[in-house]
Amino acid sequence: MSKVVDYFLKYVAFDTQSAEDAGTVPSTEKQFALAKLLSEQLKNIGVKDVSMSEHGYVYGTIPANGDYNCQTVGFLAHMDTSPDCPDENVRPQLVKHYDGKDITLNKALGVKMTTKMFPFLKNYVGQDLITTDGTTLLGADDKAGIAEIMTMAETLLTHPEIPHGTIKIAFTPDEEVGHGVDFFDVPGWGADVAYTVDGGAWGEMEYETFNAASMKVTIHGSNIHPGSAKNKMKNSILIGLEFQSMLPENEKPQYTEKYEGFFHLNHIGGNVENTTLHYIVRDHDMTRFEERKALGKKIGEFLNAKYGEGTVEVEIADTYYNMAEKIRPHMYLMDVAAEAFKELGIETPAINPVRGGTDGSRLSYMGLPCPNLCTGGHNYHGKYEFICIQSMEKTVELLLKIAEKFTKVEKQA
């Protein structure tokens, strides 16, 4: 196995699942275990100024190996995994020289990853894949990014013939629950610009994300024995279903793609007396994003007029914004990456809008322009997650080339 795979398999053994609404950073104590390991590994390979903050952020520096008047570039990846699927006892499976057929992930449970469901599997015929065992996610989002950055760092430190300026490294907690950079020390880290390594298939990079908000709908009903409920009962569950029915039917994640936004109901719970619905609201276009939030409020007002004031509460909080606005003045970041891709055989990288967010979304608004690079993974946040080994190895080469190219990106006044 290559070094990047060795690192990756070590990292996915850690359960680092983050948690919604925990009120702390990191949201789960178990993320500290991986943070401590990464700190020790960085020190062992010779990275300087390695530190771990009280919130679990891991920072490090690779000093320049020449006298370059260049920008300091950073590379980041996040340690946590999604709350959407279990991350405990991950058992990676190696599929060597993939034959283009359906992959049995778990024979006992009848879990298969089929080419009908995932036609792009055919792109990996003859290559080596790492999959789940059909019971957990894999953790390539974003432990693949961590492994690739770590391998890049070790390569630079053991190959002084590769020219590079000062390079900053960081690993963050809680990206999956929207708090990945709540306490990130941008000035102290010292990068002028950065890249998150948190994307998908080899050959992809992004500089656009959704604008994002959370929407919590709380419904207060009135329960009474159903035998005597006429003109008295107010069933909060049914009012919740009514709220959902008033949102556009075709603007759910399963019906949208590319630049199309959505309302996503990702949790509902309650009883006749009280029901709560949790949504994420997404749109690339800021005007349309504001219209989506306004619609949620308007539906709440309509239902309050129908069932009585105070029946429905709609709370909306912005999470992050489309980083394109902050990247466009620094499109040379995309140009440098595109040149690196070209030298590795990708004539035209796939530049698609991220249908989600990255730590780079908020970092860009914190004064650190930060587009996103691929890791080689697919099907994140679920049991069908997998990654191609050759794509991971190519991504390491990509990071090395970007680091080298930054010796010619002059420091701005």
Catalytically annotated residues: 80, 175
Strand partners, 318: 213
CA separation for the pair 296, 267 (Å, rounded): 16
CB neighbourhood size of 299 (10 A)? 19
Distances (CA, A) of 412 to 53, 72, 330: 29, 10, 11
CA separation for the pair 156, 50 (Å, rounded): 16
Distances (CA, A) of 132 to 120, 125, 129, 191, 300: 17, 18, 10, 35, 42
For residue 198, report the phi and psi dihedrals to the nearest 5 degrees.
Answer: -150, 30
The distance from CA 132 to its chain's CA centroid, rounded to whole angstroms, is 18
Those residues with Cβ within 8 angstroms of residue 159's Cβ, 6 or more apart along the chain or in another chain: none
CA separation for the pair 26, 7 (Å, rounded): 22
Cβ(218)–Cβ(243) below 8 Å: no
Maximum C-alpha span of the chain: 84
CB neighbourhood size of 402 (10 A)? 23
Instruction: Look at residues 164, 201, 93, 178 and name the one whose alpha carbon lies nearest to residue 409.
Output: 164
Among all chains, which residue has been given the structure tokens 């919604």?
20
- By CB neighbour count within 10 A (0-12 exposed, 13-18 middle, 19+ buried), where does 256 fall? middle
Cβ(152)–Cβ(400) below 8 Å: yes
